[in-house]
Amino acid sequence: MHSTQSPKSANTAGASRRSPPDWLQLDQQLCFALYASSLAMTKLYKPLLAPLGLTYPQYLVMLVLWEQDGISVSALGQRLSLDSGTLTPLLKRLEAAALISRQRAKDDERRVDIGLTPAGKALRAQAKSIPHELACASACSLEEISSLTKRLHALRLELSKAQASD
């Protein structure tokens, strides 16, 4: 038996039966997927960071300092996309916990530098298991997490470019 419909028109007919996505539905929104994922991620970190005595924002500060000890407050804020009003209380709590020290730069009194204390440096060894625990909880390999992270950094860069051009 011979069909009067070509394979191309059959595919088109099947596609027309499926309605296109409604881009104004919440589950179609990239912004909501990122927001909800961020909330879930922060909740996941809470029990992982509790043994270290850190909150999630404090952990982010420590990650930067483990990479670059002796960074200025302004450079730390730029790296984390945090303003000084948000960063200062975090730093005060980390200093009270004896994990960091803050001091005025010798060459420029306007600049405050952040340094790790011995306890802050030692905390890094305790945090080493966190990426693996995160991978297990997310059912992703570390390679998959790395790939997704790179893609999200690229997305953030493009969004920043678009925002700058406005």
Determine the 3-state secondary structure of 55 from DSSP.
Answer: coil
Given this model, what pLDDT does residue 68 score?
A: 95
Given this model, what pLDDT does residue 1 score?
A: 47
Low-confidence ranges of the chain (pLDDT < 70): 1-16
Name the strand (E) or helix (H) holding 61: helix 56-67
For the chain, give the percent of residues with pLDDT over 70.
90
Helix axes 73-80, 56-67, angle to 10 degrees: 120
**Residue type at 68?**
Q
**Which residue shows structure tokens 């990426």?**
131
Q: Which domains does the chain have, with CATH numbers?
A: 53-124 (1.10.10.10)
